[in-house]
Every structure is written in C-alpha cells, then in structure tokens.
Amino acid sequence: MDTIHTVGIDLAKSVFQICAFNQAGKNCLIIMLRRNQLLRFLSNIEPCLIGIIGDYS
C-alpha cells in the first residue's frame, strides 16, 4: 500500500467514510468505518494531514 499523506473523513452518526491519498494526490484507500473502528485506524497510520467534512447546518 502507498504511504498515506492525507486523509479525508466524512463525519456521520455511526459510519465514517474515509478517503486516503498518497503524496502525489492519488487515491490509495476508500473505506467505511464504524465509530469504534475509527480511532484504531488512525492510530495505525503514520502522522498525516486530516481533513474533516460534516454537515453543520
């Protein structure tokens, strides 16, 4: 797997859509995680830029 450089997280109540990109901006991972899986996923990758998207209306 490519080294993850940037992660985008689409916030929801129970399922999060995760999209990760390598340094060249190429998509290298798309997954859905439950709330209890998110922290485990983030703790197992190298430090990187994280962008959070949510509906705040």
pLDDT one-digit tens code per residue, 9-51: 998 888 999 999 999 999 999 999 998 899 999 999 999 999 9
Entry pTM: 0.82
Q: What residue numbers bound the domain in which 16 lies? A: 6-53
Judge whether 36 lies within some domain: yes
- Identify the pLDDT of residue 22: 95
Instruction: Tell me phi and psi for residue 41, to 5 degrees.
Output: -60, -50
Judge whether 46 lies within some domain: yes
Judge whether 33 lies within some domain: yes
Judge whether 12 lies within some domain: yes
Judge whether 27 lies within some domain: yes
Judge whether 1 lies within some domain: no
Judge whether 32 lies within some domain: yes
End-to-end CA distance of the chain: 36
Number of domains in the chain: 1
